[in-house]
Amino acid sequence: MVESKINPGEDDTLSPSAPGNYSHSFRYAHGNEIIAFESGYYGLIVECKDLTSVRFKEFNPKDGITYLDCLQERHRERMEKGLVREDLLIELQMGNKSYIATHAEKPSRLWEAGKICQRYDFRGLHFEGLHNVDATLVVLVWPDSITFQVDIKLDDIGGRGGVEHQTNNGSSFLDEFTVSVRFKHWSTSQSFVPKDTPQQNEYSSILSCNLTDNLEKMLDPNSGVILEVETKPTQTISSAFNKSFNCFLISANGDLKRPFLGGYRDIRDYDEFEVNILNKGSNIYVPVLLFVQPLANPTGVCPIVCDEDYNPTGIPIQLSKNWHLGNIPPYGRFFCYLPAKGTTLTTYRIRIVYGFYGTLPSASHANLSLVGRYTYSIH
């Protein structure tokens, strides 16, 4: 392997600069009841009132419709008339009895949005014939993939020390249950035995629907990629592939330690992460999520992808940040595709800049709402 500063060919479809390499989301109805996701690869519409199916169609990322084009009224037809109703199965099985999720009883919530990645959750899944189940569907979208994650919490089903939930056929929910998710030719089925994990109260079943072979090549044990990350001061930084976000997740083990003070002050230092990608195979684009908590200051934060010599690369990076939850420190999630040339070691430096006007933090980001409670996203 040799070190390289050269990016893969810019004609590759998943190149960060490719016109079809985008995603975005928008609301189709009041109350967040219908959420539409559109990318250069597909269109997807999810409805809270009917989770037994979705509207979906694959697109050609080279058809010439760019991110800016798809926001225009003249290009709305493919989402409004071109999608096809497809079955979505979310199933809970206990013993020989199955329960199907029919709808979500609460409106969806936006967690992250931008030009690269979207994430929403649909809470209060209703399983026909089953009561007192706390379940949530999370939908995560990258330009070339969709991830459906079903989270099941057991707190509301009698508790660990309480009475186990009994089904009509007498089987015990807390003894064992299986969560299955199926969409088109993608499917997953996972069984859980809660009594064997008494400290755990939440279980997840994750279905990743990848429309390209990018992730398959990236995760190949023989010809895929190895990603390692360092920061200063030296601390444990994990960088493994994360199924929930369908990408490599970079995060500190606990709160991020930094050599400078945060808060509402004139910050002239950076959070900096050296990302080393060893690619044993062919040219590839690596989806990466950098999670930083706490942010030194959430209102003036801005990420930049640099090469190993600290020169800005221009690679797009999406920022989604939240400092209004109250019970957890302010955090930022930074999404990007990092090009990795075949059979090379490529180094990037992701710098988190804290911008100021004099001693006041910058708040001039596009698409940033300064009034609200939940998620604030820019790209």
What tens digit of pLDDT does each residue of 332-360 get?
Answer: 999 999 999 999 999 999 999 987 766 66
Within a domain: residue 103? yes
Read off the pLDDT of residues 219-266 as tens digits, 9 standing for 90 and up: 999 999 999 999 999 999 999 999 999 999 999 999 999 999 998 888
SS3 80: helix
Strands 34-39 and 42-47 turn out to be antiparallel
> Is residue 80 domain-shared with residue 42, that is, in the same domain?
yes
Highest mean pLDDT among 74-83, 127-136, 230-239: 230-239
When mean pLDDT is compared across 40-54, 299-313, 364-378, the lowest value belongs to: 364-378
Read off the pLDDT of residues 166-225 as tens digits, 9 standing for 90 and up: 444 444 556 789 999 999 999 999 999 988 888 888 999 999 999 999 999 999 999 999
Cis peptide before 294 (omega within 30 of 0): yes
> Is residue 341 domain-shared with residue 274, that is, in the same domain?
yes
For 8, the enclosing helix (H) or strand (E) is: none
> Is residue 118 domain-shared with residue 154, that is, in the same domain?
yes
Residue with tokens 């007192």: 132
CA–CA separation, 155 and 306 (whole Å) = 45
CA–CA separation, 320 and 293 (whole Å) = 12
Q: Which among 289, 179, 297, 301 is positioned nearest to 238, based on CA atoms?
A: 289
190 contact partners, CB below 8 Å, separation of at least 6:
178, 179, 180, 203, 205
Within a domain: residue 10? no
> Is residue 52 domain-shared with residue 199, that is, in the same domain?
yes
Cis peptide before 233 (omega within 30 of 0): yes
Within a domain: residue 34? yes
When mean pLDDT is compared across 133-137, 154-158, 194-198, the lowest value belongs to: 154-158
Contact present, 206 and 149 (Cβ < 8 Å): yes
> Is residue 284 domain-shared with residue 342, that is, in the same domain?
yes
Read off the pLDDT of residues 357-371 as tens digits, 9 standing for 90 and up: 666 666 545 444 444
> Is residue 127 domain-shared with residue 258, that is, in the same domain?
no
SS3 118: strand
DSSP 8-state assignment for residue 6:
P
Higher pLDDT, 41 or 200: 41
Strands 42-47 and 50-58 turn out to be antiparallel
Q: What's the pLDDT score for residue 86?
A: 98
Within a domain: residue 51? yes
AA letter at 182 = R
> Is residue 141 domain-shared with residue 236, that is, in the same domain?
no
pLDDT(7) > 60? no
What percent of the chain lies above the pLDDT cut of 70?
A: 84
| Domain assignment of residue 132, given as a range | 17-210
Q: What's the pLDDT score for residue 10?
A: 40
Within a domain: residue 266? yes
Q: How many CA atoms lie within 13 A of 63 on its CB side?
A: 14
Q: What's the pLDDT score for residue 72?
A: 85
Q: What's the pLDDT score for residue 102?
A: 97
Within a domain: residue 169? yes
pLDDT(294) > 90? yes
pLDDT(281) > 80? yes
Mean pLDDT of the chain, nearest integer: 85
3-state percent breakdown (helix, strand, coil) of the chain, nearest 5 = 5, 45, 45
Backbone angles phi, psi at 193, to 5 degrees: -125, 85
Q: Which of 210, 234, 263 is the last residue of a domain?
A: 210
Q: What's the pLDDT score for residue 164?
A: 47
AA letter at 77 = E
Total domains in the fold of the chain:
2
Q: What's the pLDDT score for residue 59?
A: 95
> Is residue 198 domain-shared with residue 282, that is, in the same domain?
no
> Is residue 51 domain-shared with residue 72, that is, in the same domain?
yes
pLDDT(77) > 70? yes
pLDDT(372) > 60? no
Within a domain: residue 247? yes
pLDDT(328) > 60? yes
